[in-house]
Amino acid sequence: MVAVAAAALLAVLTVPGPSPAGLSAASPAAGGMAADGTADDCYSATTCFTPQQMDVAYGIWPLLLEGFDGRGETVVMPELAEQQLDPPMVSDIRQDLAGFDRRFGLPAARLEVTTRFAPGASRWLSFYEETLDVEMVHAIAPSATIDVVLFPLSDAASAGSLISNLTDTVRLGTSHGDVISISEGVGENCASGAVFSRLHAALRAADLHQVTVIASSGDTGPVAVPCLGHFVTPDAVPPRAPSLPASDPLVLAVGGTSLTASHQDGGYIGETAWSLPLENRGVSTLASGGGFSHVFHRPAYQNAVPGVGGTRGVPDVAADASGHTGMALVISNGRGRYEMGAAGGTSAAAPLWAGLIAVADQYAGHDLGFVNPALYCIGRSPAYHQAFHDVTTGNSTVMVAPNAVPGYQAGPGWDAVTGWGTPGAQAMVPLLAGYACY
């Protein structure tokens, strides 16, 4: 649903040990041509990372080899229900996962689909966003249970109904999940105080039940995601504001980067803040969402963080969001064959962190719940540069015709583009599991 809103904004963003059970111990390179006909390149101009390469780059691979693969944890995600197969946008999630697992040597996914909010909907038809979310979590935590909560497409027609859906997801996920991953959002300016209050109450309940709630920070840089149901005109200038639910202080907000890593072994090389340049124009049409809330005061865990003022700063952390450096997806085309796609946008970064928290929950032997205070303590500690990749280059400036809207600059430590940075999971997960403020 973030992708839908971001597409609307494009109307104005213009220019004048042993391997885990069932997990292949193959080299992280995992290249070559698959028996089902899928090739290395996601698109003609894009070479993606395999799941194993992504796991290596972010330090997750050693944890998987030790058997920490999310087993026993459940990740809950809201998604739109689809009514008919319409390749390439709509596929069968069972076939997608079967092709993904076969292509990359992963164990069969533990997938559940909840239709209580979309009675009569097909359980298995999947929009691209759902395939992205599910395959990303499965790549990072291959033995975790993934519970997709379906909502009717009509419920995403307005900001109020969308936030109501997300509130229902948080409540349902609190009852039987360990991690909730949300790739949807709207600008803070789009919702009423009552809507904020209901969602925040559901998030407080999740906190009390030790459930971690994660949300993407959006793909529109410093400006608000357009309000659903509102026609976007070419001369519209969206306000500078973060998106909800990422801006709620009880949510782990995830921004985006562009990852550079070895396509031989996945070795980490570097990252920059993610933005989507308009070809040959030197400006960006989309970028990692972030900024400062107009609704929520600065939470205690952000006290004394350089760059954070009197209100909630977004995002907290980040992960790869570039379609040019994203993880490879496998999507069924409805004709018995599979096509490769690229994971991109902060809606790819959020489920990556959801899978990572599922792994950390298993490592700790209990649900970690609200992890923001722990992550901020790690960010302030001597272990910061082992637990995080600090992203210090790039910015979130975007073009809103006819002017550029200044974004935020990535820099050392926390910033309003990539938060504290991206995970170095081999060091981060043990720190989270044994959390104490140093």
pLDDT at residue 335, as a whole number: 66
Spatial contact of 200 and 166, defined as CB atoms under 8 Å apart: no
According to DSSP, the β-strands at 212-216 and 179-182 are parallel
**Domains of the chain and CATH, by start:** 2-15+36-433 (3.40.50.200)
pLDDT at residue 31, as a whole number: 38
Spatial contact of 132 and 348, defined as CB atoms under 8 Å apart: yes
Q: To 5 degrees, how large is the angle CA 130–CA 133–CA 139? A: 135
According to DSSP, the β-strands at 268-273 and 422-423 are unpaired
pLDDT in tens, the chain (438 residues): 444 344 333 333 322 233 343 444 334 544 333 434 444 445 444 578 999 999 999 999 999 999 999 999 999 999 988 776 666 678 899 999 999 999 999 999 999 999 999 888 889 989 889 999 999 999 999 999 999 999 987 766 778 888 888 999 999 999 999 999 999 888 888 877 888 899 999 999 999 999 999 999 999 999 887 776 544 444 566 788 899 999 999 999 999 999 999 988 899 999 999 998 754 445 567 899 999 999 999 999 999 999 999 999 999 999 999 988 899 999 887 666 777 777 889 999 999 999 999 999 999 999 999 999 999 999 999 999 999 999 999 999 988 767 788 999 999 999 999 999 999 999 999 999 987 664
pLDDT at residue 11, as a whole number: 31
Q: How far is CA 106 from the centre of its chain?
A: 20
3-class DSSP assignment, residue 395: strand
pLDDT at residue 1, as a whole number: 42
The rounded radius of gyration (Å) of the Cα atoms in the chain is 20
CA dist 386 and 388 (Å) reads 6
> For residue 145, what are its two tokens?
């249970």
Sign of torsion over alpha carbons 124, 125, 128, 130: negative
Spatial contact of 52 and 28, defined as CB atoms under 8 Å apart: yes
Spatial contact of 275 and 398, defined as CB atoms under 8 Å apart: yes
Centre a 10 Å sphere on the Cβ of residue 432 and count the other Cβ atoms it contains: 23
> For residue 282, what are its two tokens?
């030197």
pLDDT at residue 418, as a whole number: 98
Strand partners, 150: 79
3-class DSSP assignment, residue 359: helix
CA dist 33 and 22 (Å) reads 21
Which contiguous run of DSSP H or E holds residue 320? strand 317-320
Q: Phi/psi class of residue 410: alpha, beta or left (left: φ > 0; alpha: ψ in -120 to 50)?
A: beta
Backbone angles phi, psi at 256, to 5 degrees: -130, 150
pLDDT at residue 340, as a whole number: 78
Which contiguous run of DSSP H or E holds residue 65? helix 61-65
Q: Phi/psi class of residue 379: alpha, beta or left (left: φ > 0; alpha: ψ in -120 to 50)?
A: alpha
CA dist 68 and 141 (Å) reads 8
Strand partners, 331: 339
> For residue 436, what are its two tokens?
């104490």
Spatial contact of 239 and 222, defined as CB atoms under 8 Å apart: no
Spatial contact of 404 and 396, defined as CB atoms under 8 Å apart: no
Spatial contact of 180 and 357, defined as CB atoms under 8 Å apart: no
